[in-house]
Amino acid sequence: MADKLAIEVAAVQKLFKLPHERYTSLKQSALHMFSKRSFTRFQALKDINFEVKDGEFFGIVGRNGSGKSTLLKILGGIYVPTKGRVRIHGTLSPFIELGVGFNPELSGRDNIYLNGAILGLSRAQIDAKYDEIVAFSELAEFMDQRLKNYSSGMQVRLAFSIAIQAQSDILLIDEVLAVGDANFQAKCYSVFRQMKRDGRTIVFVSHDMNAIKDFCDRAMLIQDGVVAAIGTPDRIINKYNQLNVVERTEGEAEDYAMDSANRWGSGEATIESVHTALNGQLTKEFKPGDQISVTLRAKFHNTIDRPIFGLIIKNSEGLRVMVTNTRLMKVPTKKYEAGEEIDFTCSVTNIFANGRYTVSPALADTNGNVFYDWIEDAAWFDVHLSESNDGIVLPDHQLTLTKV
């Protein structure tokens, strides 16, 4: 007997018409009412075909602008495909833009009832779940404050805590937890695991390859609006990393940050460059025991007090082999004024095994709730050992043989 399907997508295309002229007032629109407007056609999706089985945790990955979010909005009924067909078997809840429908002038308490009603919950259902929603969000002391006084991280926590109460068969999740702190993300992932155990169908878009590997049964890579591959998470992660790690010649600059398409953040501070060095000399080739220096240059566009500087080093399979930041290492930062530029350097003894590694730098607020800038795989470097090694790291160690 064939597996029951939850989602069927056949030959889906999405074309957007982008106007060259933009009118920002009613007067401008009236003056140009009878003028012929010109458009640029943008093909966001091109002949997309795939199926998701009932009870499957299905991942979707791809670089920014590849069409992932457009596809998810079509699945959620927010966009209508230009061509093709989508069939949804069961009820569906999109966790695409959490907090849509929130009113910033109302309190957190009032917004729970407002957002719950938008999700189709009755007042009696919200009454029954209210304490659970507040407890999960960890915002009990802020329930009577207006939402406009919440940080973006607090708003996401509240929105997610409401959204998980919707008891639908199929969930669409679009990187909605990017601004949550580590503890809250761990709670959310626990919810995902329970949903998976309950047999609910989940379509999960993420830049986090560890999450794709941990949760997904299968995954799909989208590139330039087409399906590049569908398969096991390991296979798709490898293909995704191949897209992001671009081959470079020795003569090219070591400053890669602005080339990365996988970038997000508020923009209040930005990462201007990232490079790797050995003994003060720029390089991307390292041997065992070398002291690898990774430097990111941050520029502050607003005055920011005590931000967090950090970076992640991943291997070619997308596994995080090192995560560090100034808060974790108790390195104090200060108030930086608009226009200031700061170099943040991480020096680490090379204990990495053979292979290629990528560097993902980030700037966040002092609580880690809001990211000013995050660049996925902004730079890379290679490690060359004299002998092959299948491990992730090769720390200094000794081996002994003792006759018994």
Mean pLDDT of all residues in the chain? 83
More confident residue, 97 or 56: 56
More confident residue, 212 or 221: 221
Q: Tell me if 271 sits within 8 A of 296, measured CB to CB.
A: yes
87-143 confidence digits (pLDDT tens): 999 888 877 766 667 888 999 999 999 988 887 788 999 999 999 999 998 899 999
Q: Using a cut of 0.85, tell me whether the model's pTM lies above it.
A: no
**List of domains in the chain:** 5-21+39-242 (3.40.50.300), 257-383 (2.70.50.60)
Q: In sequence order, what are the beta bridge partners of 5?
A: 53
**25, two tokens:** 């007032």
pLDDT computed for residue 142 by the predictor: 93
Q: Tell me if 262 sits within 8 A of 64, measured CB to CB.
A: yes
Confidence of residue 198 (pLDDT cuts 50, 70, 90): confident
278-296 confidence digits (pLDDT tens): 998 899 999 888 999 999 9
* Cα 61–Cα 65–Cα 67 angle in degrees, nearest 5: 60
* Cα 148–Cα 153–Cα 156 angle in degrees, nearest 5: 85
299-314 confidence digits (pLDDT tens): 999 999 999 999 999 8
